[in-house]
Amino acid sequence: MLFTSILENMKDEIINKSQELIQIKSVETTAKPGMPFGEGVNEALEYTLKLCDELGFKTKNVDGYAGHADLGDGDEMIGILVHLDVVPEGDLKKWTYPPYSATIKNNRIYGRGTIDDKGPTIAAIYAMKALKDSGVLLKKKIRIIFGTDEESGWECMRYYLIKEKVPKIAFTPDANFPVIYGEKGIITLKLKQEFNISSLSNINIKYIKGGELSNIVPNYCEALLYIIDEPKNVYEKCLNIIKKENYSIDLYLDNNNLYLKSHGISAHAMAPQKGKNAISQLMQVLKLLNLEATQMSSFIDFYNIKINTQTNGKSLDCQMKDEHSGELTLNVGVINFDEKKVELILNIRYPITKKDTNVIDKINDNLTNSNIKMEIINNMPPLYMPKDSKLVQTLTNVYKKMTNDDTQPQTFGGGTYARALENAVAFGPVFPGQVNLAHQADEYIEIDDLMKNAQIMAQAIYELNLLD
């Protein structure tokens, strides 16, 4: 049974509701009572639950951490897992249209969250609405679960799974079509060192700060150097380095203060090689300045020897790959460096057949003769779902039926809510051959793809409902 005609009649509404949700800036901010991830995220949750109420679904707000909308009353439950939070918009100058305007141009909706994950969220809601309006018999309850902390720490999902019933089978439209049967393991860790300054050097680092989240290649980093003698000479030396290496770094000299502003290219941390890391670029300039030997300069040396611009962990001795999911990736996402300490946050994604200890032990070995300490912030094991499982086979067949595309199930380096459940996979929204603009400037979704996602998801829910 196909639901295409029902959804086509809802097209204007789907577009409008997508725009309204995208226009809510749901970046995590300071928690408030009943709003564990801040006002913007809470506004997006309340908007979505109200929409689902109006469409005739049973809804629940789970203490501001998450929510859900139900269709049907079966004992067994099919889940669709989506998230309403978004990553920060980054440098506004790199956006053609304001990131929360949801501007429509050339049959595309532009804005933060259009593809990750607000467009797919609205598509999933209206896929469920199409089933409701069709009058099809549902043997199982259909539940869309709305997460609110997917981009940061998944606290929302941990809370939800303690409080609520878990779907027996589920998918999340937060990756690629046709089906993602494997997701790399993800380790987020902090490298930190404290400094004991006994005397001033000629070039003194007052601060280095850059990046916002570990899962984004940082597109901006800045530093302030205090120069005691001949600041103009240091300025000229920096300028020559930048020109020679063709770095995208702005310089500004104010008396003895030299400001460096490094500009990179953002990308998702699952593919850091597609971006340009503003932190690494700035650290290379500091290395080439040949700073006097201090605890600060030793950390900069460590960075440039063991991390540098590499995205595969080679110099940290944790480079690895497998035939299923390819090579390990490493992203330096955040740096906070001042006169007392430095904290560096890394996001590492390792192959699905490897173990976290293969990575952690190697990095620890490289810290042995230093004063740098390591703290594990988050550690998510890989996801693997056999290709011949009912879930993977059903979703693959639905995709083929709806698109006439024979592309086979894949693995990827992203991390989705699928790994929060025992029987779940990622399914869409990005089609084969398309560029995934999640976490980047000028993120957009094609309106035709938005509609196609709704059609595919409606059919997928229907066919999962038929499984024994």
CA dist., res. 335 & res. 342, Å (int): 7
Number of CB atoms found within 10 A of residue 202's CB: 14
| Dihedral angle sign, alpha carbons of residues 117, 118, 119, 122 | positive
> ∠ CA 296-300-305 to the nearest 5 degrees?
145
DSSP 116: I
* Contact by Cβ (8 Å): 204, 225: yes
- Single-letter code of the amino acid located at 26: S
**Does residue 85 carry a catalytic annotation?**
yes
- Strand 410-412 and strand 180-183: the pairing is parallel
User: Helices (DSSP H) in 310-446: which residue ranges?
Assistant: 356-366, 390-403
Active-site entry in 85, 117, 151, 327: 85
Identify the helix (H) or strand (E) that includes residue 175: strand 175-176
425-431-433-438 Cα dihedral, nearest 10 degrees: -80
Q: Which two tokens stand for residue 103?
A: 């501007």
- Strand 220-227 and strand 203-210: the pairing is antiparallel
List b or e across 33-68, with b for residues whose CB sees 16 or more CB atoms inside 10 angstroms. eebbbbebbbbbbbbbbebbeebebebbbbebbbbb
Q: Which residues lie closer than 8 Å to 10 by C-beta, 6 or more apart?
A: 126, 129, 130
* Contact by Cβ (8 Å): 378, 188: yes
* Contact by Cβ (8 Å): 3, 127: yes
CA dist., res. 111 & res. 442, Å (int): 7
**Does residue 43 carry a catalytic annotation?**
no
45-47-51-57 Cα dihedral, nearest 10 degrees: 30
Active-site entry in 89, 150, 443, 449: 150
- Single-letter code of the amino acid located at 83: H
Q: Which residues lie closer than 8 Å to 280 by C-beta, 6 or more apart?
A: 303, 307, 308, 309, 332
**Residues designated as active site:** 85, 150
